[in-house]
Amino acid sequence: MNTSLSVEKLEQLKTAVDRIVEARHANENLFGSQSTSEEIFRTMGIPVQDPQKSYELYYHNIQKALRMFLPVGEPQSKVVRELVAILLSHKEKNNIKEGVRGADSRMATTEDMSNLIDVLSEWSNPDDIMSLIHLLLSKNQELGYCPQDRQLKDFL
């Protein structure tokens, strides 16, 4: 995933900042004719949550793929599901192997679910669960959801 802002996003952000400065001086409506929060979020480059799309992505894509490829009852399956939950919720459990996460991966943003689908599509060999675990752990570390020194053995 490319984390750098596109030129269009930078222009939108610059326009939003300019409006904030102008509104402070003129005491006008901050976002002009934009009246809904979705329009304002788009202007600011903030992803808008789409509950229906999130539901579809989670239950009809992510969970379906995991059920198809993960062996039932195997320790690797549990590790994959844990790393998926971390990627979607941005949080590890209190004690990694047990405890409370304090977030629900089913309520992840559509952007987070798209990140997971990207990882699943990057996974080239469905018979190699360890490569999926490595991809998920690397993605979580890249996004700052797991410490850089976190290792696979920490989840077993």
The residues spanned by each domain of the chain are 7-44, 51-155
Here the tokens at position 31 are 């976002």
Mind listing the pLDDT tens digit for each residue in 65-123?
889 889 898 999 999 999 998 998 888 877 776 676 767 677 777 778 878 888 888 88
CB 147 within 8 A of CB 141: yes
pLDDT of residue 36: 64
Mind listing the pLDDT tens digit for each residue in 32-60?
555 566 676 667 666 667 777 778 888 88
pLDDT of residue 137: 95
* Of 133, 132, 130, 156, residue with least CA distance to 75: 156
